[in-house]
Amino acid sequence: MTNIAIAIHGGAGTILKAEMPAEKEQQYRQVLEKSLNAGYEILRSGGSALEAVEISVIYLEDSPLFNAGKGSVFNHAGHHQMDAAIMCGKTLEAGAVAGVQQVKNPISLANQIRLHSDHVLLMGEGALAFARERGMNLEDDNYFYDAYRYQQWKEAQKTNKAFLDHSKSNNQDHKFGTVGAVALDADGNLAAATSTGGLTNKRYNRIGDSPLIGAGTYANNNTCAVSCTGDGEFFIRAVAAYDVSCLMEYKGLSLQEASNIVVQDKLVKIKGEGGLIAIDAAGNIALPFNSEGMYRALQRNDEPTYIGIYRE
């Protein structure tokens, strides 16, 4: 049987079962399952890895539970600035967007940039202008408003600091958020996609690792596809996604070995918290994280679906 596989994440951080109401946990699991199933159905019907990761991320962007798309956090000015990237493992083509507002599904805009521009990364007003040219779905601020995100922002403003969506830094239940997907299709091609609303109360048009090819997102058929989540500044410094690929290509490590070195060793040494999802051309999947938990799910061939939240 030809291998097909997909893995998704909804962010990593301080996710403790003791602090998670059963009803809320069920909501997370349901959205993760719907996202995973949407991507897997595309793969099972012969669709591409690129199509699969885009649709899976769209499902996560459309849920207010995750810090991407509809659930994006507020920046210092009370707006939503979103980042996303998508990459093709076969051609190394990539599209990315940073600091964009109003776009309903930033991952789809990133893919339009990949397909219909001569560039990899567009940002801000320019990215929004491109979105309008491409006829992308736009929404006003009311669409992105969420009472819980708003309260996070108000609390963060008291400290004048920026926070990961669900860190304990400001004594709140804050830190999950960034979403992503990686996939292997029946043709043996890999793809990766990542989307985020960034940091709560962020200033100065801060951009994290998610839209940066090689930092938060990377795909190469010769090695792997990777989507990262966590403390973006550290993933940028570690060039985390590309480092997994490099360890496989230059040292001959397995996907699991390379992923573990990056997440459990290299990032830990520089105090970088978070995790990643990765897949290789054989359909092997790695889901390492050094935080208390990571929203994650995977489906491979006809094997049982796996959905996880906490450290196991």
Q: Which residues are catalytic?
A: 178
State how far the Cα of 92 lies from the Cα of 90, in Å rounded to an integer. 6
DSSP string, 233-302: HHHHHHTHHHHHHHHHHHH---HHHHHHIIIIIIHHHTT--EEEEEEETT--EE--BSSSEEEEEEEETT
State how far the Cα of 75 lies from the Cα of 124, in Å rounded to an integer. 14
Count of CA atoms in the C-beta half-sphere (13 A) of 33: 10
Closest CA to 54 of 218, 216, 180: 180
Assess contact for 228 and 209: CB atoms under 8 A.
yes
Closest CA to 70 of 155, 162, 152, 139: 139
Assess contact for 7 and 182: CB atoms under 8 A.
yes
Question: String of b and e for 11-37 (b: at least 16 CB within 10 Å)?
Answer: bbbbbeeeebeeeeeeebeebbbebbb
At which residue do the structure tokens 């979103």 appear? 82
State how far the Cα of 226 lies from the Cα of 204, in Å rounded to an integer. 28
Assess contact for 60 and 66: CB atoms under 8 A.
yes
Question: How many other CB atoms are there within 10 angstroms of residue 133's CB atom?
Answer: 11
